[in-house]
Amino acid sequence: MLSIDPLAFISENTSDSYVIKRKLNPNGVGFLHNSIVVKRTSCKQLNPYCNKQNSTYFEIPNNNSQFCNMIDESILHYAEAHSTPDQLILQELQRETFLKVLLPAMISSPLQGALLRIISEMLKPQQVLEIGTFTGYSALCLASGIPNNGRLDTIDCNEELSTFHEKYFPLLPQGVKIKAHYGNALTIIPTLSTTYDLVFIDADKQNYKAYYELALQYAKTGAWIIIDNVLWKGKVLNPANDKDAVYLDSFNKQVNNDGRVDNVLLPIRDGLLVIKKL
């Protein structure tokens, strides 16, 4: 429902709108003088199927979002309107991420978050590993099905995002099950001395093959691995001019030919690859 230029930041606001400056200068210092206005609007205005009362969203009039949806927008709205909505704390985390963080579209969408939550609640995993915490939204979704004596280890290379984790993890009951780690996941995971029932990978794409092999190494037999962004805005269909698309196309083929796993690729948001370790 939210769409924002990945090179954007909030510069000022009023009671009913936000002015967003866009486009980082090529030298990395300052921003070009270009802006769009974000209007506060109702759920009904954004989505005709929405029946939520007293809900407001920030409508960003910009189609250049970082990720594309593989599903028709009207179908997506219908699916969102007929899915259990996020808890208010998670809605606020989504909102604050889009208002304060560079590249906010890296956060899982509410529909994707709901899927992660449902999967966790179905599996009731004892130990969960997440590679790529970002602002913590997906960690809170994944932790919802963990039993009281379980744990979720989440790893991110950007410790500056810890302010989000420190603020939001304590606000939901499942937050106490989350242990945040900061640094290189490839070196941190072997030190955790844990085997996992569920792994979620949503991090730097050029390391997906290494993360996948490490996930298989530390996943229990019968464990599930979910990997995000494997369709890369649809560019995997014609990847020649995009190095990440070339890499992800190769990675998808590698997993599909791997006799150690069973897998299905879902065209949800930017592509979710769901894998079972045999």
* pLDDT at 73 (0 to 100): 81
Highest-pLDDT range among 25-29, 167-171, 266-270:
167-171
pLDDT in tens, 3-18: 333 333 333 344 444 4
* pLDDT at 102 (0 to 100): 86
pLDDT in tens, 199-209: 999 999 999 99
* pLDDT at 77 (0 to 100): 85
Q: Residues near 126 by Cβ (< 8 Å), separated by ≥ 6?
A: 146, 147, 149, 150, 151, 197
Mean pLDDT across 155-183: 97
pLDDT in tens, 218-243: 999 999 999 999 999 999 999 998 99
* More confident call, 248 vs 56: 248
Question: To the nearest whole number, what is the mean pLDDT of the chain?
Answer: 82
pTM of the model: 0.78
